[in-house]
Amino acid sequence: MDSILRTSLHNFESAAERLGLDESVRRRVLGPKEKVEVAINPVLPNGETANVKVFVGRHNDAIGPAKGGIRMTPDVTLDDITGLAMEMTWKTSLIGVPFGGGKSGIRFDPASISADAKEIIIRSFTRGVRRHIGPELYIPAPDMGTTEADMAHIRDCISYSEGTSITNGCFVTGKPVVLGGIVGRREATGKGVVYAVLAMCEKLGLDIGSTRVVVQGFGNVGSVAAAEIARHGAKVVGVADLSGGVANADGMDIDALHEHCSQSGTVAGFAGATEIDKDEVFGLDCDILIPAAAGSQITEENADSIRAKIVAEGANAPTTPQADEILNRRGVLVIPDILCNAGGVFVSYLEYTQETQREQMTLAEVEQRLADRMRQRFGEVHESARREGLSMRDAAMNMAVRGVVEAVTARGFRP
């Protein structure tokens, strides 16, 4: 079993145990409701026929239609998608949006193909899983390896086959603003991470301006979180991505790092810092560590080397259960993924309502609602952890699972 799924199952089983869930309810909530694997065979611009496995998982839809991104990586598996869909169920429940949990996957390396070829694969994916997507069923969004442009192609593929300009309702979020997307969606996950960190610093009486931060991953989440936290005065002393790492104890100019990265495609080689091995990044001396790359990055092998006081999980399932135990034992405060990175799906919900109601929201409204929701939910999780003597992950899982159980129970048990 892949480790993301193992982590998700472990987190659920321990919540079920703490909450003393009845066996029939436990089994219903354990899910998944649906998981499918579909083969697509698009002909790419070079004339070759690609054989691509794609996956859709709907873990639970008791609260509302399944919501969650499309992961496009060369090694994504149906197990990963099942685990990540489950994670979305807890995330949407915890952040309080009327969605369930879903996820989809495209097993292909997006970095190995042209924009043209990617569009063909995305359109082929959309047609291949069309009957699993819909405003009342599963609404995809960007995730690792997919972007705003891909969401535009999904929407166009669906409206084109209907012969209409727009889709009838919101079929996908994270679209470009000009095609019914919402302002601020792209930055929402990274900003949400920083709002959670700010709330944690406030609880600890820690001045964000005097903190040192390390970020693993410089994609949509890591790069925005780094820029936003630097804007609040923190020093970003280390950043790593797939190709390398850079460190500077005096803090880095994140705009310049961004510029370097958009030219070279990696943080490695940035002139404003010293080169380090990407695996050394966790051991850097800092106050706050933001893992914002892949899953299962903090493991029992490296958890002891982490020197941060706060770990803010920008990625999904970045910490294995064994590593989580080590961090807890060492008193490292972990802001769990289902809370920390929920800003993205929260703003996806705003996009969904905006499109459904044919309304328009301003950036100021979106940012205010995001900041308020992150702060409010952080406060509730923090308070519940304190009251019940739990880690924030366990408190967040208790709250999230309770919400889903309440919906499952309210629906009733008859067909």
Catalytic residues: 103
Handedness of CA 339, 243, 246, 308 (dihedral sign): positive
- List the x/- string, 87-126, binding to ligand GLU by CB under 6 A: ----------------------------------------
- Which residue, 104 or 248, has its beta carbon nearer to ligand GLU? 104
Q: Give dist(CA 319, CA 196) in Å, integer.
A: 18
Residues in contact with 269: Cβ distance below 8 Å, sequence separation at least 6, in sequence order: 244, 260, 275
**Given 77, 126, 348, 398, the residue binding ligand GLU (CB under 6 A):** 348
Q: Which of residues 352-381 bind ligand GLU (CB under 6 A)?
A: none
> Environment class of residue 192 by beta-carbon count within 10 Å: exposed (0-12), middle (13-18) or buried (19+)?
buried
Total of residues contacting ligand GLU (CB under 6 A): 11
Q: What are residue 179's DSSP bridge partners?
A: none
CB 123 within 8 A of CB 43: no
- Which residue, 268 or 350, has its beta carbon nearer to ligand GLU? 350
The helix-helix angle for 363-388 and 185-204 (nearest 10°) equals: 40
CB 300 within 8 A of CB 150: no
CB 290 within 8 A of CB 193: yes
Q: Closest separation between CB of residue 27 and ligand GLU, Å?
A: 25
- List the x/- string, 185-224, binding to ligand GLU by CB under 6 A: ----------------------------------------
Q: Give dist(CA 407, CA 109) in Å, integer.
A: 38
**Given 60, 316, 319, 354, the residue binding ligand GLU (CB under 6 A):** 316
Q: Which of these segments, 210-218, 244-252, 339-347, 400-408, binds ligand GLU (CB under 6 A)?
A: 339-347
Q: Which of these segments, 210-218, 229-237, 341-349, 357-365, binds ligand GLU (CB under 6 A)?
A: 341-349
Q: Which of residues 57-86 bind ligand GLU (CB under 6 A)?
A: 67-69
Q: Closest separation between CB of residue 329 and ligand GLU, Å?
A: 28
Q: Closest separation between CB of residue 344 and ligand GLU, Å?
A: 4
The answer to whether residue 344 forms part of the interface with ligand GLU (CB under 6 A) is yes
Pairing mode of beta strands 333-335, 310-312: parallel
| Number of alpha carbons in the 13 Å side-chain half-sphere of residue 289 | 27
Q: In degrees rounded to 5, what are phi and psi of residue 59?
A: -80, -55
- List the x/- string, 124-163, binding to ligand GLU by CB under 6 A: -----------------x-x--------------------
- List the x/- string, 272-311, binding to ligand GLU by CB under 6 A: ----------------------------------------
> Environment class of residue 86 by beta-carbon count within 10 Å: exposed (0-12), middle (13-18) or buried (19+)?
buried
Handedness of CA 304, 308, 312, 313 (dihedral sign): negative
- Which residue, 238 or 295, has its beta carbon nearer to ligand GLU? 295
| Number of alpha carbons in the 13 Å side-chain half-sphere of residue 324 | 22
Instruction: Report the alpha-carbon angle 378-383-384, nearest 5.
Output: 100
Q: Closest separation between CB of residue 298 and ligand GLU, Å?
A: 18
Q: Closest separation between CB of residue 64 and ligand GLU, Å?
A: 12
Does the bond joining 318 to the residue before it have cis omega, within 30 degrees of 0?
A: no
- Which residue, 67 or 118, has its beta carbon nearer to ligand GLU? 67
Residues in contact with 301: Cβ distance below 8 Å, sequence separation at least 6, in sequence order: none
State which residue has the least CB distance to ligand GLU. 69
Q: Closest separation between CB of residue 217 and ligand GLU, Å?
A: 13
Q: Which of these segments, 44-52, 74-82, 230-238, 340-348, binds ligand GLU (CB under 6 A)?
A: 340-348
Residues in contact with 315: Cβ distance below 8 Å, sequence separation at least 6, in sequence order: 216, 217, 221, 291, 292, 293, 294, 295, 297, 337, 341
Q: Closest separation between CB of residue 206 and ligand GLU, Å?
A: 26
Q: Which of these segments, 150-158, 176-184, 232-240, 344-352, binds ligand GLU (CB under 6 A)?
A: 344-352
- Which residue, 68 or 318, has its beta carbon nearer to ligand GLU? 68
Residues that bind ligand GLU (CB under 6 A): 67-69, 141, 143, 173, 316, 341, 344-345, 348
